[in-house]
Amino acid sequence: MILLTQMAILFLIMAVGFLCKRTNLLDDLSVKKLSGLVVNVANPCMVLSAAVGDHAGSDNMLLLYTVVLSLVMYAIFLVLAAMVPKLLRVPAGDVPAYKLMMIFSNIGFMGFPVISAAYGQEALLYASVFLFPYNFLIYTYGISVMTGESMVKGGIRWKKIFNIGVLSGILAIALYIADLHLPSVLSQTISTLGGLTAPLSMIVIGYSIAEMDLKTLFTDVRLLLFSVIKLLLLPIAGVTLCRLCRVPEALLGVSFIMLAMPVGSMTAMLASQYGRNEELASRAVAITTILSVVILPLMSALLGV
């Protein structure tokens, strides 16, 4: 019920972004700046807010367990990225986009706000661990897939891998392990700025969806089948496997959100940069985002997470 309520709230905020586009209250430049504010200020502060509060409920071993879990999860994603396009008989020219759509979900812009709202700020500390393999893969494997070149050609892009999202995660974990407590005025400032993440990110997503022809979103049968795999089958299989492997209950909710998130906007950005079917990637972001608003709470109730 909590997740249903939170997804309904996020959907309504997304609708505000949609209306802002249709009424010209926002334009592309202002939304680009809002995105920058979320990525560089609000989202890092939201991650940090998990470490500047009370650590009484945290567990160092659980944090280490999360590291292992995140690595295993992305290893499985890589296998699925090779299998799913073949299963769906994706045309050769669309395979790179489908591979990235399978692996890279909207864990920052949408996942973190959902986790914070549904499971509390403490869960964000564990969620931030998933940023490390995500960023490493997107700037190595992701670029390699889009360009058709070796992952190491031209050198690994360390500056992009260790971006502000990852650095905020490292700092949050360091603060937690060292059990450091910031002055109240500073911790409250960080938490307040972090609170901007959910509304601003949903407005940006709603604005992006408003730019698309909604009538054509639900006519691509292959993309709809992909959405079923990503939003339904993957979370069911993933949570079931987590339970069989006795993953701690405290991590099940975080794992579920990481598995059930819609396609991330970074896939469309890479597709645009390297000329590999940006339109397909953008439609995948839109359709999986819209469907996740309904599917995510239903899956949560079904799986009991």
Output the domain CATH number for residue 142: 1.20.1530.20
- 170 — phi, psi (to 5°)? -60, -45
- 105 — phi, psi (to 5°)? -105, 175
- Say what the alpha-carbon torsion angle 165, 170, 173, 174 is, to the nearest 10 degrees: -140
CA–CA–CA angle 77, 82, 87 (5° rounding): 110
Residues near 24 by Cβ (< 8 Å), separated by ≥ 6? none
Domain holding 226, by residue range, is 2-303
Hey, what are 101's tokens? 């759509």
Residues near 169 by Cβ (< 8 Å), separated by ≥ 6? 47, 128, 129, 131, 132
Hey, what are 271's tokens? 């597709």
Hey, what are 56's tokens? 């009484």
The answer to whether the CB of 110 falls within 8 A of the CB of 289 is yes
Residues near 279 by Cβ (< 8 Å), separated by ≥ 6? none
Q: Cα separations (Å) of 5 from 8, 94, 118, 181, 202?
A: 5, 36, 9, 32, 15
Name the helix (H) or strand (E) containing 63: helix 60-87
Chunked mean pLDDT (size 10), the chain, 305 residues:
78 90 91 84 82 61 88 95 95 92 88 84 84 83 78 62 77 80 87 86 84 80 94 94 89 92 84 76 87 89 85
- 252 — phi, psi (to 5°)? -65, -45
Hey, what are 179's tokens? 């059990």
What is the structure's pLDDT at 85? 95
What is the structure's pLDDT at 240? 94
User: What count of Cα atoms within 13 Å lies in the side-chain half-sphere of residue 301?
Assistant: 10
What is the structure's pLDDT at 212? 79
What is the structure's pLDDT at 155? 60
What is the structure's pLDDT at 293? 87
What is the structure's pLDDT at 222? 94
What is the structure's pLDDT at 272? 73
- How many domains is the chain built from? 1
